Amino acid sequence: MRNLALIIVAAGLCFVMALLGLVILTGSVGGTTAAACVLSTSMRKGDASPQITVTTVANANCDAAALVTLPNSPVVDNGLPADYVIPTNATAAETVAITYALAQLGKTYLWGGTGPNAFDCSGLTLMAWEQAGVTLLHYTGDQFNEGMPVASYADISPGDLVLVPGSDGTVVNPGHVGLYIGDGLVESAVDVRYGVIVQPFSYFVSGGLSGIRHVG
């Protein structure tokens, strides 16, 4: 009877852990291991209408640029050239999105942030395009499927999303996104060290280009 009781208790514990559904994924980031961006879901047992609670597993590397994408020298004036102007070929919507993004330069990086004081990369692009009446989902993986694909850099437009592997993704499953602002420049919420800055397109995609999406 005692052994049977122990078996029942063990089975119950396994059932509870299955309901919690807490999945910890790990990935190598700059030679260290860090938890990936995941969600944990819990359910109360015995409810007629089970309640599901979703919480995030915090990780400063989520939605951040990879080491290869980071500047190799000090960033001056948040990376924006002194003579930069929004391209004249930008549409009214693209101009609105870029103008908003530029106003966020120098702000803090925060995973899940959508402003007004802190952003993650997809939060910045989401909010920039929201000002122009375009709704995007708040996750880099979802923004990879937003709008229409752009064949190559030769066809890029101001305001397009530029997606790269980032610190926790791959070329086929990007983990970082930026906003193309014209003149060969991309703005993004890079990471907790740099915050929101502008980088040359060539440097931004130095770790691989997952895709370019036109959402305007």
Convert the pLDDT of each residue in 139-148 to its tens digit: 999 999 999 9
pLDDT at 127 over 70: yes
Residue 1: band (very low, low, confident or very high) from pLDDT cuts 50, 70, 90 = low
Residue 96: band (very low, low, confident or very high) from pLDDT cuts 50, 70, 90 = very high
Q: What is the DSSP letter of 178?
A: E
User: What token pair was written down for 103?
Assistant: 């106003």
Is the preceding peptide bond at 87 cis, omega within 30 degrees of 0? no
State mean pLDDT over 89-114: 97
- Per-residue pLDDT, 63: 87
Cα separation, 143 vs 23, whole angstroms: 23
DSSP-assigned beta bridge partners for residue 182: 185
State mean pLDDT over 57-71: 78
Q: Which residue has the higher pLDDT, 181 or 48?
A: 181
pLDDT at 59 over 70: no
Closest CA to 63 of 143, 131, 129: 143
Q: Position of tokens 């409810």? A: 47
pLDDT at 216 over 60: yes
Q: Which residue has the higher pLDDT, 13 or 132?
A: 132
Give the domain ranges of the chain: 2-56, 67-214
Fold classification of 67-214 is endopeptidase fold (from Nostoc punctiforme) (3.90.1720)
Integer angstrom CA distances of residue 153 from 91, 177, 213: 18, 15, 11
- Specify the pTM: 0.76
Residue 4: band (very low, low, confident or very high) from pLDDT cuts 50, 70, 90 = very low
R_g (Cα) of the chain, nearest Å: 21
pLDDT at 209 over 70: yes
Contacts 24+ apart (CB under 8 A), 126-132: 127/100, 128/97, 128/98, 128/100, 128/101, 128/104, 128/159, 128/179, 129/97, 129/159, 129/215, 129/216, 131/96, 131/97, 131/99, 131/100, 132/92, 132/93, 132/94, 132/96, 132/97, 132/216
State mean pLDDT over 63-87: 93
- Per-residue pLDDT, 128: 98
Which residues, 6 or more positions from 209, have their beta carbon under 8 angstroms from its beta carbon?
162, 163, 164, 171
pLDDT at 24 over 90: no
- Per-residue pLDDT, 73: 85
pLDDT at 13 over 60: no
Helix axes 121-130, 92-103, angle to 10 degrees: 130
Lowest mean pLDDT among 2-6, 19-23, 108-112: 19-23
Torsion of CA 166, 34, 127, 103, to 10 degrees: -80
The shares of helix, strand and coil residues in the chain, as percent rounded to the nearest 5, are 25, 25, 50
